[in-house]
Structure 1
């Protein structure tokens, strides 16, 4: 348990940051799920639109420190390749 004033404040800040980051991660996962569902449906236009909508959210997750930049780069690359393959087929 926090004893000093500063440690109590840090505990409060940590809880607040945790809530914000949790909401941000949830939002990112929602966008990723929409892209996955669009790819599964086989509609290339919807998948491309979902991917374009997901990209800024993923990038925002990087700038806010929720996700690592290489993780986002890998996810975007793999999703873009799948959407491209869908549109070529």
Structure 2
């Protein structure tokens, strides 16, 4: 348990941030899943729209440090390749 006021405050802040990060990461996973589902269905227009949303989520998480920049770039590139492969 925390012995100082500042460490108590930091513990509370950590809990709040953890919740925010988990929610944002869940949103990102959902948007990536929507892209993959649209690609599997062969719907190019929906896949393109969902890709834009997923790309925004990935960039947002990379900017805030929830995921690393290279991870976001890699996932974006792989999703783009899948979307471009839809006929």
**Structure 1 alignment gaps of length 5 or more:** none
Question: Residue 73 of structure 1: CA displacement?
Answer: 0.4
Question: Residue 85 of structure 1: CA displacement?
Answer: 1.1
TM-score, normalised on structure 1? 0.92
Match of 1:82 in 2: 82
Match of 2:10 in 1: 10
Q: For 1:6-60, what per-residue CA distance to the aligned partner results, in whole angstroms no more than 9, with x for missing partners?
A: 1111101110110110111011111111111111111111111110121111100
**Structure 2 alignment gaps of length 5 or more:** none
Runs of 4+ in 1 over 3 A off after TM superposition: none
Distance (Å, rounded) in 1 between the aligned partners of 2:9 and 2:45: 49
Match of 1:31 in 2: 31
Q: How many residues align?
A: 87
SS at match of 2:3: coil
